[in-house]
Amino acid sequence: MPDWGAIFLVTTPVGEIFVRGTVTYLALLLMMRVAGQRESGGLGLTDVLLVVLVAQATAGGLTGDSRSVTDGLLLVVTILMWSIVVDAVAYRWPRAADLLKARPRPLIDDGRLNHKVMRREFMTREEVLTQLRLHGIEDPSLVKRAYLEPNGMISVVRRDDDSSG
């Protein structure tokens, strides 16, 4: 018979759960921000961070290994709260958004590769050309602008897209 009291009993001080969740979320957010946009794949960095932390926070409560369900849920609430706070701060103060949120980075401008961005994201010319081919473009000179988006995808604006005839 399960011990229903132990399942929902808070076994770790709430303040400790809050501090652990806060430090972990903010430290991982900083590390992922430094790692660069290209590594995030199709999801945004904060999306990946949120999924990983929530999964880890709830794991112990789900399996019964160590923490109660309530401990895990309090940790999830802390993580979600920081996710919302970071989004709200970025929305309210654009200067903070530059630090907290990734922005599109110009990979190609007027047919010319931006080698500075490529170096920052560890992208080779061949990788950029591969991405262009996925958009049906063989030659970078046909590109007006291409951006490495915050979710790691590349968006392309062709030269011929801006001509109205």
pLDDT tens sequence across 24-38 = 888 877 776 766 555
Q: How far apart are CA 129 and CA 135, in angstroms?
A: 10
Answer yes or no: do 70 and 129 share one domain.
no
Angle at 21 between CA 88 and CA 17, to 5 degrees: 125
Q: Quote the domain boundaries for residue 51.
A: 4-100
Answer yes or no: do 61 and 110 share one domain.
no
pLDDT digit string, tens, across residues 73-107: 788 888 888 888 988 998 999 999 888 887 899 99
Calculate the average pLDDT of the chain.
Answer: 81
Q: How far apart are CA 45 and CA 131, in angstroms?
A: 20
Which pLDDT value is given to residue 24? 80
Q: Is the pLDDT of residue 126 over 70?
A: yes
Angle at 97 between CA 54 and CA 85, to 5 degrees: 40
Among 56, 80, 100, the domain boundary falls at 100
Answer yes or no: do 91 and 113 share one domain.
no
Which pLDDT value is given to residue 165? 43
| Sheet with 143-148: strands ordered across | 112-113, 105-109, 143-148, 154-158
Instruction: Tell me if 45 sits within 8 A of 33, measured CB to CB.
Output: yes
Count of domains for the chain:
2
Answer yes or no: do 61 and 92 share one domain.
yes
Among 100, 128, 150, the domain boundary falls at 100
CATH number, domain of 124, equals 3.30.240.20
**Residue 35 is which amino acid?**
A
